[in-house]
Amino acid sequence: IIKVATSDSESGNRLAWLIILFAAIVYLEGFFGVVNAHLLTDILGARFSSVVSGMVICKSLKRGRRLDASAPVETSLAGNDIVRTMENLRLTQWVPMLITALIGGITVLVVLIGVSSVVGLFVMFSIVGLNRYISSKTKKAEKLNLKAGDKRLTLMRQLIEGIQALKM
């Protein structure tokens, strides 16, 4: 932009178009972010909550009273799990905006910086890929650690039951 601004008047037209294009991209990103947030959280979120809550309550009414009063009731699902699921789904409202921001950012980088931006993008995507590879290895190690913890817990339970049997 500085190079274009300091050159001749013909480049001034190009600078104006770049600024207009950049402003349009930022405006559209914000506009679609607000539309998606409103659509996904307010409208679809309320519909999801009302439909699923109604289904759970209808099912619990069809089942009638339980014989065991200590067993969980389905209506507690409507009070806890449905609300928690809806809150977790609120994060999905950002996905369309994030995709458009990524595409817009890459476009602006390529237009303004040129070919050298490809090197930066390559480094960025390489780091993302490396991070994904490392996290998959960590996930496998955590699963092995959980299995070992389960074995230790089983042995401790058997040991405690043996001690209780000897105590009696």
Is residue 60 within 8 A of residue 74, CB to CB? The reply is: yes
Placement of tokens 């065991």 in the chain: 68
Cβ within 8 Å of residue 94, ≥6 positions away = 33, 36
Between CA 79 and CA 2 the distance in angstroms is 58
Q: pTM for the whole thing?
A: 0.44
**For the chain, how are helix, strand and coil distributed in percent, rounded to 5?**
90, 0, 10
Q: What is the pLDDT of residue 135?
A: 92
Per-residue pLDDT of the chain (168 residues; tens, 9 = 90+): 556 555 666 666 777 787 888 888 888 878 877 887 777 777 777 787 778 777 777 776 676 555 455 555 555 655 677 777 777 777 777 777 788 778 888 888 888 888 888 888 899 899 999 999 999 999 988 888 888 888 888 888 888 888 887 777
Between CA 98 and CA 37 the distance in angstroms is 12
* DSSP 8-state class, residue 147: H
